[in-house]
Structure 1
Amino acid sequence: MAGLFSSDAKVLVIGANHRSSSLALRDRLFLDEPEVIPFLDKLKDDGVEQCLVVSTCDRVEVHCVDHNPARAHELIVARLAERAELDSHTIASQLYVHEGEEAVRHIFRVAASLDSLMVGEPQVVAQVKDAHRLAVEAGSVGAELERIFQAAYGTAKRVRTETAVGERPVSIASVGVQIAKELHGDLSRCRGLLIGAGDMGELTAQNLIEAGLSDFTCIHSFAGRAQRIARHLSCHFDDFDNRNRLACEADIIVTSMNKRTRVVSADMVAKALQVRKNKPIFLIDTGIPGDVDPAVNDVDGAFLYDLHDLERVAMEGRASREAEARAASAILDKDLHDFFRGKEERTAVPLVSSLRDRFETERQAVLALHANDADKATRLLINRLLHTPSEELRALAAVKKKKEWEAASDLVERLFLKKD
């Protein structure tokens, strides 16, 4: 394909996610909602033409459309490095870069939750729409970027409604609520604690709150993330350093740090149970890898379920999940093909419009001369419309350039002589 847009603008995605980077870097890059528009304003002032930033616990990435992708790349990396308080070379190895069709594919996959830590997380498209809304408010979204995201939302909707790929995380969260009720009974009398800000942890916390657990607190080693989750869930947030005290007060602990170190130890849980006079604690570990030391399973009064435990209750088996993921990918591939084809077809619109205007001008001129004589009017119109093409075809035939003549002849036959 010649290009995504007739203007030769290029699509670019630059970012860091759970696969490419450390949690420490993503914490440094993370933008809370009030910080997004100022960040976009800086990119606009730098000269980036169209831009949008998606900032979640699992990814921070900039989507842009620009006529000079190399320059835009340099400017975006520089601003991300500034945000992280690191130099560009230090963060470059943890960033991924997609350009052109691959960038559009990535945007579609993110919106459809096919690029998530847990595929099918239902809140991802809402996060993308929030990012889109802020970029529109900042005035940094143009027609090209808008078309991409509207098409991506359509694909995300198809994936949700035509496949069961989104049922897995919802089912897992529902099982967590079910077990919590079996252990503690009325959840309105319970306290909850969310350690971390991963999407699966947030989804589980949201389900617990909707089931009646109203006293809920969020903590994170990066305070901004805890505050964002607390706003979204309409609950409390606290300092990460207070986690031992908060664990003593919590009947249900949900973890979602997704780090490579355990944030909840067996000793921490044992001490909490001692303070609670052995009133049980239900722990839901949604971290990948796990956030809770498996030795917690040996602590009396602690009931630990990780994603695998919950999934055994919620799902039939791995094969069904993979089949749904393949079905979702097939939908995405077809929609991407249609999207790219539509972009290419739009390059013909100005020419078709000019042709239509020219024909209408000739029609009006002929009607002015022979409005009451249809035979004369139509003959004159045909002669006028065919005059220039006929002259050009005769001239092309005369110079005896076989390839050019064959191409022109083939085009005329396809445009005007092909039978339905």
Structure 2
Amino acid sequence: MGEAGGTAPSLPFVVFGVDHHRTPVELREKLAVPIEGINRLLALLSTTPGASEAVVLSTCNRLECYLAGTPDRQQVITRLAEHQGVDAATLDAHAFWHPGMDGVRHLFRVVSGLESLVLGEYQIVHQVKTGYDIAHQGKFTGAVLNPLFQRALGVAKDVRNNTAIGKFKLSVASVAVDLAKHIHGEVERARLLVVGAGEIAELAVRYLLTAGVRELTIINRNEDRAHALAEEFRSVDFVPQVLPWSMLSDALTQHDIVVTSTAAPHAVITVADVKQAMRRRRQPLMFMDLAVPRDVEPSVGELSDVYLYNIDHLEQVVSANQQLRRDEVDAASALVDSLVTSYATDVRHDRGALMAQVAGYFADVIAAEEARLVGKLGLKDNPELKYGLERIGNKLQHQLLKYLRDHAHDPQAEKIIREILGL
């Protein structure tokens, strides 16, 4: 399957980079590129002898440079090492170099979450798309990288739709939200109480608000910190409430979900507190105790209509889900391999030029329509308008590219696409 060695790659393309699999964090930190610095690196890479196009992907776990052409590895290493201020020999020792279809396979695996620290995580799709968008807008992409990255984003969608690689939640906060939905059904009417201001609790609150919770109260021993946290969640139509610590027992009566994350050395919510609250309410009461040591006395979970989950319970679910995701890796990898083979067929049939023309056609249509609407509606620098138009264009483009892929051996397929778009 590999193309490394003395043979020339079937596609003038290479991926060079470092990631969490083979590179120590100390080196990855030095190689990280802030988003405002990506264009400078793209300009450097795209002018490397033998390279004509470039896309850069920089996350906390990887820095990857996707190059069209057949550049020399040592020249790329030297340029990147000098640009980032690291030793070239050290970079060389910890980096990978995937030319041709090996590089395509790597990109498809990355965007599908198969190379991520958290298997199947979906954030990588957004990160790849952002990296591609920056390069495309800076005119650093062309006939090789435009169709390749369009296909890669389609591969991510195919893998997510046809395997369960991303089905099982792998963060404590997201598991907590699923449990809340299980107990309360749809959580839009659930009243949320946050006790303390720990980082995990804050993340759980964000997940719950995204899931639909519309009523939030915050209690913390440090009331200034409670107000600061409330400000983080405040919006025009959403104003969290802050109560003093002395009202904690009374607040249990008025809320349906309680998330705790204090730094107290002992339990701050007792069985007596919860018994008193349950005598004055009819709905179930759910506790997510994310503190260590625990904030809620364990025997609270033995009370009728009270559901108590601590950090160990939630992490056990995360661990089980991690194994379930691992079970899906083989299926996702097989699908990626088949999609790499399909892309290789397109390249061999010289459809890369047509795919680039299709991508260019839709990019031109989107730009023209955006300019027309901006002028007509008097809009200026409206990211939502551009995002909406790009989504429509990408969906239409995906259908045409899928048609080409599904009819790889039909000589009429290319002719049909050209006639439809007037290419």
Quick check: 1:149 aligned with 2:156?
no
**Match of residue 389 from structure 2:** none
CA distance in 1, matches of 2:173, 2:119: 14
**Match of residue 57 from structure 2:** 54
For 1:53, what is the secondary structure of its paired residue? strand
Q: For the structure 1 residues 35 and 337, does the alpha-carbon distance in structure 2 shift closer, same or farther, using more than 3 Å as the test?
A: same
> Alpha-carbon deviation of 1:322?
4.5
CA distance in 2, matches of 1:348, 1:174: 41
Q: For the structure 1 residues 77 and 105, does the alpha-carbon distance in structure 2 shift closer, same or farther, using more than 3 Å as the test?
A: same
> Alpha-carbon deviation of 1:275?
10
> Alpha-carbon deviation of 1:321?
3.8
Q: What's the CA shift string for 1:157-198, capped at 9, x where partnerless? A: 11111111110236865323356899xx84464665548xxx
Q: What's the CA shift string for 1:247-270, capped at 9, x where partnerless? A: xxxx667xxxxxxxxxxxxxxx8x
CA distance in 2, matches of 1:334, 1:65: 23
Quick check: 1:63 aligned with 2:70?
no
The one-letter code matched in structure 2 to 1:341 is: T
**Match of residue 40 from structure 2:** 38
For 1:90, what is the secondary structure of its paired residue? helix
The one-letter code matched in structure 1 to 2:264 is: L
**Could you tell me which of 329, 337, 344 is aligned with 1:340?**
344
**Match of residue 324 from structure 1:** 328
**Match of residue 175 from structure 2:** 175
Q: What's the CA shift string for 1:9-32, capped at 9, x where partnerless? A: 621111111111122222222222
Q: 1:41–1:138: 8 Å Cα contact kept in structure 2?
A: no
Q: 2:58–2:64: 8 Å Cα contact kept in structure 1?
A: yes
RMSD of the alignment, in Å?
Answer: 4.5
Q: For the structure 1 residues 57 and 193, does the alpha-carbon distance in structure 2 shift closer, same or farther, using more than 3 Å as the test?
A: farther
> Alpha-carbon deviation of 1:63?
1.0
Q: For the structure 1 residues 190 and 328, does the alpha-carbon distance in structure 2 shift closer, same or farther, using more than 3 Å as the test?
A: same
> Alpha-carbon deviation of 1:344?
0.5
Please give the residue correspondences for 1:185-204 in structure 2 after superposition, counting only pairs within 5 Å.
186-187=191-192, 189=194, 193-194=198-199
**Match of residue 317 from structure 2:** 310
Q: 2:267–2:294: 8 Å Cα contact kept in structure 1?
A: no
CA distance in 2, matches of 1:35, 1:327: 37
> Alpha-carbon deviation of 1:311?
2.7
CA distance in 2, matches of 1:90, 1:99: 21
Q: 2:13–2:68: 8 Å Cα contact kept in structure 1?
A: yes
**Match of residue 365 from structure 2:** none
Q: 2:109–2:336: 8 Å Cα contact kept in structure 1?
A: yes
Q: For the structure 1 residues 123 and 252, does the alpha-carbon distance in structure 2 shift closer, same or farther, using more than 3 Å as the test?
A: farther
The one-letter code matched in structure 2 to 1:166 is: G
Please give the TM-score of this superposition, normalised by the length of structure 1.
Answer: 0.54
Q: For the structure 1 residues 63 and 252, does the alpha-carbon distance in structure 2 shift closer, same or farther, using more than 3 Å as the test?
A: farther
Q: For the structure 1 residues 35 and 190, does the alpha-carbon distance in structure 2 shift closer, same or farther, using more than 3 Å as the test?
A: farther
Quick check: 1:15 aligned with 2:17?
yes
The one-letter code matched in structure 1 to 2:42 is: L
Please give the residue correspondences for 1:244-255 in structure 2 after superposition, counting only pairs within 5 Å.
none
Identical counterparts, % of pairs: 29
For 1:169, what is the secondary structure of its paired residue? coil
For 1:62, what is the secondary structure of its paired residue? strand
Please give the residue correspondences for 1:100-139 in structure 2 after superposition, counting only pairs within 5 Å.
100-139=100-139
Q: How many residues align?
A: 279
Q: 1:54–1:131: 8 Å Cα contact kept in structure 2?
A: yes
Q: 1:51–1:135: 8 Å Cα contact kept in structure 2?
A: yes
Q: For the structure 1 residues 157 and 215, does the alpha-carbon distance in structure 2 shift closer, same or farther, using more than 3 Å as the test?
A: farther
